Amino acid sequence: MSKFLGYLFTPIFYFFFFLMLVIFQPIQWVCYRFFGYKAHKVSVDILNFFLTYCNWFLGNSVTFVNQQNLPTDRPIIFVANHQSMYDIPGLIWNLRKHQPKFISKIELTKGIPSISYNLKYGGGANIDRKDSKQAVSEIIKLGRRMKENNWSTVIFAEGTRAKDGQLKTFQVGGIATLLKVVPNALIVPVAIGNSWKIVRYGKFPLSFGEQIRWTVLSPIDQTDKNAEEITLAAENAIRAQLNQNTAS
């Protein structure tokens, strides 16, 4: 049934999703060029509110659970699993007070309305995966911006999307590099569930009636832990939450 209804409602979803991207491209440009970073960020936040709730056109529920009292005066590294591109709008909107930035492929900075513009001017790191020196340099620059502005960064530590929802082993590289620049950054895991189901049939049809859930977990106790141990602790916390979601 989810696939059948997907054939009916996917065109509606895509129409409104891409309409938002087109509408907010000039809005972002005006905000950034004439009013600066803060106005641009507000425009990006509002865009991602609409992108998140476009899920309603697919009958998908969106639930963001954050029972953590996280500081806004300290850099945070949110470590998340990654299931689909639809993970991202909910993170940007619901974590907006922490000003989350992303580490993205440099190819995404061209050709995508709104998204490419934000990647260019939003303050994240755009890396060339074929050039390790450039990638490390960009992540270090991001770490410095985090330190100066008390920004946060979201790292998808699996390195690639888990298209079947099965959690992959987390990679330590990005987390270790950021911690060298921002050693006081708080490490906070975020478990993302069922986002992969949206694209289980590919780009068309998208699946109808899924329950998408983001859960912000307790910060990792970093006492006497190196980057590898911190990364493993984040992975284990997310794995436990996903197993709990499946069991309930």
Tens of pLDDT, residue by residue over 30-41, are 999 999 999 999
4: pLDDT strictly greater than 80: yes
Give the pLDDT confidence of 95-144 residue by residue, as tens digits: 999 999 999 999 999 999 999 999 999 999 999 988 889 999 999 999 99
Q: What is the per-residue pLDDT for 65?
A: 97
CA distance 108 to 122: 13
Q: What is the per-residue pLDDT for 184?
A: 93
Assign 220 to helix, strand or coil: coil
The answer to whether the beta carbons of residues 62 and 215 sit under 8 Å apart is no
Question: Cβ–Cβ contacts within 10 Å for residue 233, how many?
Answer: 18
18 Cβ neighbours under 8 A, 6+ residues apart: 113
Q: What percent of the chain has pLDDT over 90?
A: 91
Q: What is the mean pLDDT of the chain?
A: 95
Residue 233: its H or E element: helix 227-247
Helices and strands, counts by H and E, the chain: 8, 7
Q: What is the per-residue pLDDT for 145?
A: 97
Give the pLDDT confidence of 212-242 residue by residue, as tens digits: 999 999 999 998 899 999 999 999 999 999 9
244: pLDDT strictly greater than 90: no
The token duo for 101 is: 């930035």
208: pLDDT strictly greater than 80: yes
The token duo for 16 is: 């409104």
Report, as an integer, the average pLDDT of 154-170.
Answer: 91
Report strand pairing: 211-216 vs 61-66.
parallel
Report, as an integer, the average pLDDT of 35-59.
Answer: 98
248: pLDDT strictly greater than 70: no
Q: Where are the domains of the chain?
A: 2-247
Report, as an integer, the average pLDDT of 185-212.
Answer: 96
Q: What is the per-residue pLDDT for 39?
A: 98
Assign 207 to helix, strand or coil: coil
pTM: 0.95
Q: What is the per-residue pLDDT for 45?
A: 98
Nearest Cα neighbor of 216 from 115, 129, 90 is 90
Indicate the class that CATH gives domain 2-247: alpha beta
DSSP class of residue 187 equals E
